[in-house]
Amino acid sequence: EVASQTKPGCSGRCGSLEIPYPFGISEGCSLDDSFLITCNTTFSPPRPFLGPGNTPAPVLTISLDGELRVSSSVARQCYDASGMLVEETTSSLISEKFPISTRNRFTAVGCDTFAAIAGTRGQNFTTGCLSLCDQMESVTNGSCAGISCCQTMIPIKMQNFGAAVGGLNNHSTVNSFNPCSFAFLIEEEFYNFSIVDLIDMQSKQDMPVVLDWSVGNITCQEAQKDLTTYACEAANSECLDSNNGLAYHCRCKTGFQGNAYLVDGCQGTFLHMNCDWLHLLPDIEECKASNPCSGKCNNFLGAIFCSCPEGFEGDGMVNGTGCRRIINQGDQRRLIIPLKGLKKATNNYHESKVLGQGGYGTVYKGILPDNKVVAIKKSKVCDQSQIEQFINEVLVLSQINHRNVVKLLGCCLETEVPLLVYEFITNGTLADHLHDKLSASSLPWEMHLKVVAETIGALAYLHSATSMSIIHRDVKTSNILLDNSYTTKVSDFGASRLVPLDQTQLTTLVQGTLGYLDPEYFHSGQLTEKSDVYSFGVVLAELLTGKQALAFDRPEKERNLAIYFISSMKKERLVEILDDGIMNEGSIQQMNKTVEVAKRCLKVIGEERPSMKEVAMELEGLRAVEKHSWIKVDLGIEETKHLLPLPSSFIEFGSNSCNVTATTTTSGFDSLRDQIFSPPLHGGR
């Protein structure tokens, strides 16, 4: 709880909420106008709202740790039994100064539901998810993985958003128990799906959303050059760069507490913290008095740190785990890792340690006691399907030993859904390098070929070189990791399936990422190795064009890259959409061959696609081809045949990780699209 610490002479309360500086409720009482909170006294008691320039959203809490919680509305669309629309609202939020925290999740609830959220983060973006079910019996409390409830993450540095929701079939088949679709942004820890929500969400008008606040628009290093504007005014304060945009935070140093933004804000603490490894005590000579450590005792500014000597592990506390000698079990053995060690490695799963998020979990960067840097995958939903997902991933990875497949180092079995520990890959994902305008690097054509060769080599290995064939089922650029030497590591085997060598296909619940999903698999539910081939074809198209697999900000005919790529080939206009950089670097033969392989991989009929091994053989040796300047080449395009007409929702609507359980129609999609692309970002709620 935040103490009421305001500028002298200023009021620090609005109703029941404490307003700490740098925020304030009147002129001259905040750091600047962006930190002004509007205290509306027409309510009883008075209620605080975000200040001028923002959506006037109610403020719920303000934390000196850099978090501000506000209330945000729920988007909804409801139908009567005849399928007539009876209610429709959207949701939006403008936050000019404070970015929306990645601790929030975009969530949709309903059994006939597609939802989308559009926003800005220096550039426009759109994402969403699909939620389906046909009967109450298929719904599981607590699960938000695509059946009656779905969630997707939001990107870092997002400032504003508009959200809308629609029914695929006007809820006509599920109206008796679910007449409405709902969508909202919400703090992840706050919401746990309940079956009751399918009917009773009408009573929930608002949801808590976390905003990240910080000061300035420069780094700590730059801010400290000008002490007249430097916000960390307290003695014994320190500065930390923001994790969500160019800005910084102030906090009291270890051993002190209070408000680091005020001159006398940081006071020596007499607080005893119940932590695994840290006790804050009033006397810096406490080690000499009543030593709480069984290992080494260290004093620092009123704080006592207990640690273990080299060769031992534990919290070092007399009343804790003490220090245990480490037994060397060898680097190659997969280990069972204690939960306490993983919490410490990730600073208790702190947001700053997040590497990425998907439909089934969050991946954190962690540092183990031996200083080994690892990636830790933590499930975000606790139900039986997540445990099965974990078992599946361990089972699959136990079959794999390949330099271009991410290594599983160990796991933790102390939680409801076990945690997985992987080798840490240092250079992000292929998607980052291709599409993130804020951090993208320009990969030369030669590096494109290296990534292609290593990825296809790993996938061919999965399909044919293991004791059981492994179908990845979610091949995409965000699951292709790169290290500092741009060595490829294929990752995320949670959706993968093991196929006995005497079988060629499996019938499964359709699962994957829209934009990459094999249309034949989507329609039939028949999973084969050729499903991975199609997804790899989309990856090739991304590499060749530099365009995302699915993007709402492109014209309608261009939104699905696979469709657009084949259509451009058919019209002999492919040159117009290829990336300028690779056209200038790649040779005619290399480009022609890569385009031809992509075309074959993207055949709608699976039997017409090559195998992964055939693709690997076709692409072999491309990196050695002599480079020539680009000229227009006749690519000899054949007529593209479609197995079935694809529904527009398949072509146009995607999510970061969306379980699709049925073929869908597009009733209401145009309305949703119009709402999303013209969200009320310049008005109120």
Identify any residues that bridge with 409 across adjacent strands, giving them in sequence order. Answer: none
| Catalytic site residue from 197, 432, 474, 532 | 474
Using N-to-C axis directions, what is the helix angle for 445-464 and 612-619, rounded to 10°? 150
372 assigned ligand-binding residue = no
List Cβ neighbours of 34 (8 Å cut-off, separation of 6 or more).
51, 53, 96, 97
Q: Give buried/exposed letters for 475-489 (b at 16+ CB in 10 A, else e).
A: bbbbbbbbeeebebb
Tokens representing residue 666 in the block: 């597009």
Tokens representing residue 474 in the block: 């979610």
- Asked about 432 being catalytic, the answer comes back as no
CA distances from 198 to 80, 193, 303, 359 (A): 15, 9, 50, 21
Distance between CA atoms of residues 119 and 272, nearest Å: 43
CA distances from 373 to 7, 337, 370, 421, 469 (A): 43, 14, 9, 10, 31
Cis amide prior to 8 (ω within 30 degrees): no
Residue-by-residue DSSP string for 453-484: HHHHHHHHHHHHTSSSEEE-S---GGGEEE-T
Residues 145 and 180: beta-carbon distance below 8 Å: no
List Cβ neighbours of 248 (8 Å cut-off, separation of 6 or more).
214, 215, 216, 218, 219, 220, 223, 231, 239, 240, 241, 242
The dihedral over CA atoms of 178, 181, 187, 192, expressed in degrees to the nearest 10, equals 10
Residue-by-residue DSSP string for 25-74: SSTTSSSSGGGBEEEETTSSS-EEEE-TTS--PBEEEEETTTEEEEEEEP
Residues 182 and 109: beta-carbon distance below 8 Å: yes
Distance between CA atoms of residues 426 and 482, nearest Å: 7
Distance between CA atoms of residues 444 and 441, nearest Å: 9
Query: ∠557-563-566 over CA atoms, to 5°?
Result: 115
How many C-beta neighbours within 10 Å does residue 648 have?
17
**What's the maximum distance between 2 C-alpha atoms anywhere in the chain?**
85
The dihedral over CA atoms of 15, 19, 24, 25, expressed in degrees to the nearest 10, equals 0
CA distances from 501 to 225, 420, 505, 610, 616 (A): 66, 27, 10, 18, 20
Residues 536 and 456: beta-carbon distance below 8 Å: yes
Sign, CA dihedral 259-265-268-271, equals negative
- Cα–Cα nearest to 276, from 302, 325, 313: 313
Distance between CA atoms of residues 152 and 602, nearest Å: 27
Q: Which residues are annotated as a binding site for ATP?
A: 378
Q: Which residues are annotated as a binding site?
A: 378
Return the active site residues: 474
